[in-house]
Amino acid sequence: MPAAERVLLRSVTMWLLLQSLLLLASRLRAAAAFPKGCYPSEEEGLKTFRCSNARLTEVPRDIPNDTNKLYLDSNQIPFLPRDAFRDLPLLLELDLSHNAIANVESGAFRGLAEHLHSLDLSSNRLVSVSKDAFSNLKAKVNLSNNPWLCDCRLQELIRTVDLAAGSSSGIVCKSSALEEHVGKAFLQVIADTDFCNVYKKTTDIAMLVTMFGWFAMVISYLVYYVRQNQEDARRHLEYLKSLPSKQRRSEESSTISTVV
């Protein structure tokens, strides 16, 4: 092989080796930036980021912003703060199941309304969540296997979200204002009980009782005031009767003018 060709071949080999080393270093740096136990991959042509069983106690901040599928399941995340996923505009699927989530702040899913089509919050510690937390979200939501308090708030939430197929039977009353509802599927309960209507009636009754109480207090005060004035007037008239006649007439005239 001519010397020129050997030099060219060696140069090309060195260049390819250098490119491979640079690519490997880039991937190592990227991997080092991710939380321990998290890694990116590609599944069915979708960019996926997995953090399953990574012992996370919060939503990671260094998730690639072109992620389509995010798995944060089986961790110890206790709550979802506002704008937790704001930098993931292309997210299609979000799995938060099997965590310790007890609180979802309003705006936690802000920025995901346009693309997200699957949200799994099953097997957490959700007792009560405002419907505003899921505002404008079009995703299929799994809320099963949480210790729900069955009340008007949960009823409004269920009417707001689009439940994932087959997940509704897993939304069970862990507690309720009525003991008979505990242990029953929520959709079964609200078939016979309108929690929001019951709450409205209770509120109306409480307002009526309060208004009646104030009215009774006002009437009682007026009655007391009138009786007290009558008693004072009676005593004064008895006093006037005990005075000499001329002085009594003068005092009576003064009393009459004062009353007028």
pLDDT value for 178: 85
**Which residue is it, tokens 């005031």?**
225
Q: What is the pTM of this model?
A: 0.66
Domain extents in the chain: 32-193, 194-231
Those residues of the chain that have pLDDT short of 50 are 7, 21-32, 199-206, 208-209, 212, 246, 248, 255-260
pLDDT value for 149: 97
Specify the CATH class of 32-193 in words: alpha beta
CA 101 to chain centre: 11
pLDDT value for 216: 56
Q: Which of 137, 79, 130, 77 is nearest to 106 (CA)?
A: 130
pLDDT value for 38: 95
| pLDDT tens, residue by residue, 56-99 | 999 998 899 999 999 999 999 999 999 999 999 999 999 999 99
pLDDT value for 19: 57
